[in-house]
Amino acid sequence: MTKPTVFLVDDDASIRDALSLLLSLKGMRAQVFASAEAFLETYQPDWRGCLLTDLRMPGMSGLDLNQSLRQRGVSLPVILLTAHGDVATARAALKSGAFDFLEKPVNDELLMDVLTHAVERDAQIHRATTQRSETLEKTGRLTQREREVLVLLSRGLQNREIAAELQISPRTVEVYKARMMEKLDCRSLADAVRMGLALEQEPAAGQGEQDRPVPRLDA
């Protein structure tokens, strides 16, 4: 499922019907569930959009559902609805990672505003996650030395400075740089620098393939 969807979880059928009708009239796609358990049984990792769930339900509560999703690493924004809202519950909801907290009966305009921002937030997270995966896949092609050249390049070092740091010649740095640019499919040094900056933020990963010998270029 790629189209953004509001996943509505509420044990009250009349609430589900009313909210799904409102969303439809506002041009938003909705998918309804009568319980948190039903949502978790059906959930697919490629779902995009946000989750709008009642706080108090038989069985698993909205808070429990949000916590379960976070434990599974699911980033889908969660908005909690309750007719029994209080400050303590609101704080608990936000502390547990909820995107927002709304009391019933909720104003239609406020609800649509929150849902729109939640869907936008999910799209931002998805884009960032996709970009990160692509960067890790590409940098995983690099050898250890090529990774070192990339990181030093992203720190603003020139060829001679990189050469001094790695105790190799500037011309050898050029060879590693050319190999690195080809493996990363970079059209410019700016693209490579962005990948190098992203790589530095990642925990140590596999070192990729072994370095091929570089012809001596010091002469």
Give 31-72 pLDDT, tens digit per residue: 999 999 999 999 999 999 999 999 989 999 999 999 999 999
Same-domain pairing of 113 and 159: no
Instruction: Tell me the C-alpha to C-alpha distance, in Å, between residue 43 and each of 37, 57, 69, 102, 204.
Output: 10, 18, 10, 23, 32
pLDDT for position 87:
67
In a domain, 216, yes or no: no
Which has the higher per-residue pLDDT, 212 or 130? 130
Q: Tell me whether residue 25 is in a domain.
A: yes
Q: Is 77 part of a structural domain of the chain?
A: yes
Would the pTM of this model clear 0.75, i.e. be above it? Answer: no
Q: What per-residue confidence (pLDDT) applies to 20?
A: 94
Domain membership flag for residue 88: yes
Answer yes or no: do 19 and 103 share one domain: yes
